[in-house]
Structure 1
Amino acid sequence: MLCGASSCKKENTEPNSSNPNVLPPLTHEGKNTFGCKVNGEVWVAQMPFAVGGAIALEGTYYTNTNMMYLVAKRKLEEEGKFDRIDILVENLIQNGDYVMLTDDNQMRGFTDYEGNYNCSTYRYNDDLLRRVIITYFSPSQGIISGTFEMDLINPSCPGDTIRIREGRFDWRMTVY
């Protein structure tokens, strides 16, 4: 009976960065976590193991311009998914509410490399939601944490919008 009981597996539903079905917790420790819901489905940044080190979360905070550029990548080989989410915020100097930079509507917010969405690239637009709330900001510790939500479009696919909600990140940033 003990052998039979030890072979049972319970699905882990605790929030952590290694479970792609559960959003990571809201933390302020530089844990390099990133998650959100894309059109209602959980999306967690993660990349498969690589010898050089797979990087699921990367970007830069530029001290001379107070700009944060953050890229989260997800590759789920078994499901045929490889996509990324980009966040660009300017004038970031303290905790608070920010609007993502649209870069003349050319800034991409979501890119699908495997064709799982109607369009491959969705962009920010001045008329749509694109909000970031920085909840922890410490350049001396190299940590930025926050929440975000956005609506993204592809002008080539009228009426097709990606809605990203319940976003959160806790990033140990590269400072320049």
Structure 2
Amino acid sequence: MKKIFLLFAVALLIIACYKDDEAPQPTPEPTEIEKLPPATQTGANKVGCLVNGKAFLPEGQLTGSSNPYCGYFHDAFSLVFNVVKNNDNITANGTESVVVYSSNTFLEEGNTYVLQAENSDHSGGYRVFDRNDYQFYDTNDEYIGELHITKLDKTNNVISGTFWFDAVNEQSKKVEIREGRFDMVFEGWAG
């Protein structure tokens, strides 16, 4: 009788384990990097990066501006994208922004540009606009980064690439921008 009971218990255990294997498993949450757009080169108008390890993607709209914005006029390139937490305003209160600038340089496909001081030809920044607290984090001679152009199609106004940088505010608080990627149709006319 003990053998029959033992065999019955083992059979129930096997059936229970088999049933658990068939149970639907919850879909895992995507990692922060998986939330970013893929690094494409088609003019998809997608941009994103990690800000201190968290996905940062354009969200919301400021009155009178586009989000994201990409402009390339002759020798001046700017890429700006925001997370707007207070949509119906023109003051930018409740907004965080990532910016990448290049000036006095004709960008070339395949080249990498060092993002340094705000007064250099290439820089990066992170902005936090709040009613009583504006924080500006910028690259400088110590906190730098890179802008890499993977595609520049001047006929169709498409520019794609990657970026990363470290930036610091006046209180020496640092922000890390990583895994930046963009694939944009730019406004303007390239040199």
Q: Is the 8 A contact 1:60 1:69 kept in 2?
A: yes
Instruction: Give the SS at the match of 1:174.
Output: coil
- Runs (5+) with no aligned partner, structure 1: 1-9, 16-20
Aligned to 1:88: 101
Shift of 1:94: 2.5
- Runs (5+) with no aligned partner, structure 2: 1-26, 88-92
Shift of 1:73: 1.3
Q: Count the aligned residue pairs.
A: 152
Instruction: Give the SS at the match of 2:113.
Output: strand
> TM-score, with normalisation over the residues of structure 2?
0.67
Shift of 1:77: 5.1
* Larger Cα-atom Rg: 2
The runs of 4+ residues in structure 1 deviating greater than 4 Å are 10-15
Q: CA 1:150–1:31 in 2, change beyond 3 Å: closer, same or farther?
A: same
> TM-score, with normalisation over the residues of structure 1?
0.73
Q: Is the 8 A contact 1:135 1:146 kept in 2?
A: yes
Identity of aligned residues (%): 25
CA deviation vs aligned residue, 1:81-122 (integer Å, no higher than 9, x gap): 5211110124213222112363327x661111138xx96111
Q: Superposition RMSD on alpha carbons, in Å?
A: 3.2
CA–CA separation in structure 1 for the residues paired with 2:157 and 2:31:
27
Q: Is the 8 A contact 2:45 2:185 kept in 1?
A: yes
CA deviation vs aligned residue, 1:23-78 (integer Å, no higher than 9, x gap): 1111111111111110111101122597x7x6211132122x2x211111112459
Matched, 1:111 2:127: yes
Q: Is the 8 A contact 2:116 2:144 kept in 1?
A: no
By percentage of residues, which structure has more helix?
2
CA–CA separation in structure 2 for the residues paired with 1:74 and 1:157:
23
Instruction: Give the SS at the match of 2:35.
Output: coil
Aligned to 1:136: 151
